[in-house]
Amino acid sequence: MTKTKPAAALRARLNEPGLITAPGVYDMISARIADRMGFASLYMTGFGVVASYLGLPDAGLATYTDMVGRVRQICAMTATPLIADADTGYGGLLNVAHTVRGYIAAGAAAVQIEDQEFPKKCGHTPGRSVIPAADMVKKIRVAIEARADDEIMIAARTDARTAHGLDEALRRADAYAKAGADILFVESPESELEMEKICKTLEVPLMANMVEGGKTPVLSAKQLEELGYKIAIFPATGFLAAGAALHSIYGTLRRDGSSVRATAPLYAFEDFTQLMGFKEVWEFEKRHAD
């Protein structure tokens, strides 16, 4: 049986009714847990990947090689279509083409490219600048040219709202849609009214970025769908939860010298070995035992 390509699976789901909720994954533990839970899509968060892999801020410090390697790892071990952050495309137009082809080979369903100047910054932090809209349009056209037969979806993100206002962000998003972007991502609207205006203005499938503690209000799935969003990503939720759990359990160890009085929830060790594939290892060893 021929396996449906990731981009085709995501495109088909976008054509169905209902909101796609995509949890942020940032390492192989988060990816394998989320993959088993029946989501229509996963979202590889640049913030989380850079933090977990390099221990650095999401400020343009990760390279294409760093990121495409993480895409390849996640896609190799999961079955859920992956929307993968590719920052600014890691350079000029030639770099964008190389990035798109690399993300296709790695197995991504969609590649997200933004219009920030390099070095880029997390979309919910200050000090972001954007390139001319015409330059981003060229990037989108090159990205589309680099793919063949719709092998990957192109998600175009604009960070213009914070520095230049919502109207400029909408003007850019419309230009990116006309250039051929499959998904539009207007980053950091600051109210529900702004989110409503985005959805009323743009017709291409829209992505909402739900960052707990960020600039954009975190809304319910029902509210997002009623506004007109098609995808809601939750890039930070997983690593914020993991960070809180680790802080709690390590605090217990530091205080007590033991986990006996721990209050943080712990994944059952037996279940975790199953998650990481030890069952397959044991079955292999039995088959090949002398």
Residues 6+ apart with CB under 8 A from 22: 39, 40, 41, 42, 43, 83, 231, 232, 233, 234
- Split at pLDDT 50, 70, 90, the class of 128 is confident
Length of the chain: 290
Q: Is pLDDT of 252 > 90? A: yes
> Do the Cβ atoms of 241 and 29 come closer than 8 Å?
no
In whole angstroms, what separates CA 153 from the centre of its chain? 13
Mean pLDDT (whole number) for 40-53: 96
pLDDT in the model for residue 114? 96
- Split at pLDDT 50, 70, 90, the class of 1 is very low
pLDDT in the model for residue 3? 63
Q: What whole-number distance in Å separates Cα of residue 217 and Cα of residue 198? A: 14
In whole angstroms, what separates CA 272 from the centre of its chain? 24
Ramachandran quadrant class, 188 (left: phi over 0; alpha: psi -120 to 50; beta: rest): left
> Is the sign of the CA dihedral 144, 232, 29, 113 positive or negative?
positive
pLDDT, tens digit, 9 for 90 and up, residues 47-64? 999 999 999 998 888 999
User: Distances in Å between the alpha carbon of 232 and those of 51, 224, 229?
Assistant: 22, 8, 7
Q: Is pLDDT of 194 > 50? A: yes
Supply 73's token pair: 């790892």
pLDDT, tens digit, 9 for 90 and up, residues 149-171? 889 999 999 999 999 999 999 99
Q: What is the 3-state secondary structure (H, E, C) of 98-144?
A: HHHHHHHHHCCCEEEEECECCCCCCCCCCCCCECCHHHHHHHHHHHH
Domains of the chain (ranges plus CATH)? 6-242 (3.20.20.60)
pLDDT, tens digit, 9 for 90 and up, residues 258-282? 999 999 999 999 999 999 999 999 9
State the chain's mean pLDDT as an integer: 94
Tokens 């960052």 locate to 211
- Split at pLDDT 50, 70, 90, the class of 290 is confident
Task: Tell me, yes or no, if the pTM score tops 0.75.
Answer: yes
- Rounded to the nearest 10°, the torsion over CA 247, 253, 255, 259 is 110
Mean pLDDT (whole number) for 214-219: 95
Of 51, 34, 55, the residue nearest 43 (C-alpha): 34
> Do the Cβ atoms of 181 and 141 come closer than 8 Å?
no
Mean pLDDT (whole number) for 176-201: 97
